[in-house]
Every structure is written in C-alpha cells, then in structure tokens.
Structure 1
Amino acid sequence: MTEQPPPPGPGFGPPPPQYAPAPPAQPPYGYAPVPNGYAPVPPQPAPAPAGPEFLAVDKRNAVVVDASGVVFELSGLTAEFRWPEIRGVHYKASPDGKALMVAVVHVDGRFYECVVEARPRARLQEWFPQLAWVLGHYRPMG
C-alpha cells in the first residue's frame, strides 16, 4: 500500500482568478504592439581599419594622427579633427628647437595648433620622419 502525499495547501499552484494579473491592454489603432522582453541590440559600427599611427606626447599636450584623423590634447582638453573636415596638416620645430608644432587647417579655413615638447631634444628628429610617413599614408600629395 502506497501513501499518497497530501494535496497542496493554500499558497501553492496558480493564483485564483481575482488575483491574476490583468491581460495587457491592446495598443491604440495604428501602433504596433509592445514586444515582450528587451529590444534587439543595434549593430555596432565597425572599427576603423588599422593603419599607421603617430603619437607625440609631453606632460600636458599630445598629438595623435591615425586612420580617423588628427587629435590634439591640450592640458586635458581634446580636439578631434576627422579627415573629411581637414584641409591640411602642417608641422615644424618650434623656434627654440625644443618642441614639435602641429597645425590643422579646417575646411572652413580655421586654424588649430598644438605644441608638444620633445624631451630629450633628439626625439624631435625622430618625430619628423614618423609624422611625415603617417601623414603621407592618409593624405598623399597629388
């Protein structure tokens, strides 16, 4: 003889009809019903293709040139210039020969400049061919 377990007491099983949640209301005419769950994740933009990069940095300022354009960091403030909005990029040594001066000319004619100290001073001579090569890659002459 097998014993049957006692039937479940109150509090088990589905709630009585008076305590069940109300069915969702139908959306007004012309609107799509709200889907249950989370919205689909939108596709993420593809990362910029890898290419050569140039970086010059000192205690306060930095210049970055890469596939997206030119970025200046000036005492914690960042200015980004994308290639389509750049008319030209110029660079030279500072008058005392201790820093790299890089200028971006915007398509509307505005001019932006960043100065990065080269320590040791010989680093400036390393930066010039690197910067020339990277700029030539993204902005070939002709």
Structure 2
Amino acid sequence: MEQRIGANSQPLEGAGFDPAFIPGLTAPASAEVKDAGPEDTRPEEAEGAEAAAEPVALTKAATDAETTVDEDAEDAEDTEEAAEGPVFEASDRRARIVADHQGVRLSLDEEKCEFRWDEIGAIETEAPRFGKRFTITVHTPDRRWYPIEIEATSRSRFKEWEEQLDAVLDAYFEDGDEEAENEAENEAETDADD
C-alpha cells in the first residue's frame, strides 16, 4: 500500500492565484511554448523555427505597409471630398467631433460613432457659463441623444466653433421644418390649380 506524505489537495486555480485566469488581463501564452520545454528542443529544430518565422514576419510587415497605404489613400480621398464644402472639427486630448458632407463623427478615447445627415434629427450646442467644456449633442429621430464634451483652450473658441458648426449645418443639414413648408406650398399650389 502506497501512502503520500503531505497535503492531499489539488493546487487552487482562479483569479486570486493566477492573473492569466481572467481572459484579456494578460496576453495568452502560446501553445508551442507551453508544450515545448528546453530539453525537448534540439538546435536543428530551433534554427528551422527561426527560419520559418522570418517569412511570417516579412509577410506581416508587408501587410502592415499595405494597410498603411490604403489608410493614407482613404484619408487623401476624404480630404479631397471635404474640400467641397465647409467642415467643422474640434478636438481635445480625449474627444473629437468632425462634421462635414458625410455626416457627423464623434469619438471619445477609443469609442467612435458616425451619423449620416439623414440619421440626425437635431444638433444642440451648449457653452457653459463657467469652465471650458463645450458640449455638442447629436439627437436622432428615434429620441436618442449622443453628447460629447470638448475642452477648449480658451472660452473665445466657443463662438468660433458655433459659427463653424452653423455653417456646416446650413450647408448639409436638411431641417424637417423646411420640408414641411415645401409640402404645404405644394399642396397649396395643387389646391389653387383645382
């Protein structure tokens, strides 16, 4: 009969004992490193693994370069198209808003959202009485709103930003009141013709 000396319990697992237990907290360990120990690796295999890794690294670098070129081309197209009309852009260290012919794009840290002009019900601005945080709120027709606060370098920027935003709204935003007026005029003309 075999007896063990010491504790008969299994080692504990969990976030309290292993930070890698929580997904996303640490980088996942690769299966190759876990399975292959130092005594299992032969020098010939190590050289082959390094040689095989070189083309992968070169392919990844080429893919990254192509992605950068594609992004630069898209940025160039955006700037060409943006030159057609007025553009409003305001940003600080965390938040950014861009309003142009495509619509309104908001970003805060890593989160981004984009609204086409037909998805926007109203845009509201608010300049605080004290402080330097300018608030822009995008309202959608389904009664949702998306506020973003931008910290200005000085309070004089508020007036400049409002003027730029008004110019963009006048150029691209179709107000529902104008459409209602046009429909009312068309109905009045058809009634007059009858």
Give the TM-score, by structure 1 length: 0.61
Task: Give the structure 2 partner of residue 27 of structure 1.
Answer: none
Query: Of the candidates 143, 146, 150, which is equivalent to residue 109 of structure 1?
Result: 143
CA contact (8 A) 1:99 1:124 kept: no
Contact 1:54–1:66 (Cα < 8 Å) also in 2: yes
* Structure 2 alignment gaps of length 5 or more: 1-76, 179-194
1:88 to 104, 122, 126: 122
Report the RMSD for the aligned CA atoms in angstroms. 2.0
Tell me how far apart the structure 1 counterparts of residues 126 and 165 of structure 2 sit (CA, whole Å).
Answer: 11
Match of 2:112 among 64, 78, 97: 78
SS in 2 for 1:134: helix
Larger Rg, first or second structure (1 or 2): 1
Runs of 4+ in 1 over 2 A off after TM superposition: 46-50, 94-97
Work out whether 1:134 is the aligned partner of 2:168: yes
SS at structure 1 position matched to 2:123: strand
Superposition deviation, residue 120 in structure 1: 2.2
Deviation of 1:55 (Å): 0.3
For 1:100, the equivalent position in structure 2 comes to 134
- The 5-angstrom pairing of residues 1-142 of structure 1 reads 50-141=84-175, 142=178
Answer 1 or 2: which has greater helix percent.
2
SS of 2:142's equivalent? coil
Residues 129 and 68 of structure 1, relative CA distance in 2, 3 Å threshold: same
State the partner residue of 1:3. Answer: none
Q: Matched residues in 2 for 1:114 and 1:65: separation?
A: 13
C-alpha deviations, 1:79-125, integer Å up to 9, x for none?
A: 11111111111112134241221111112111111110110222122
Q: Which has the higher contact order (CA 8 A, sep 6+)?
A: 1
Decide which structure has greater strand share.
1
2-structure distance, mates of 1:97, 1:127:
16
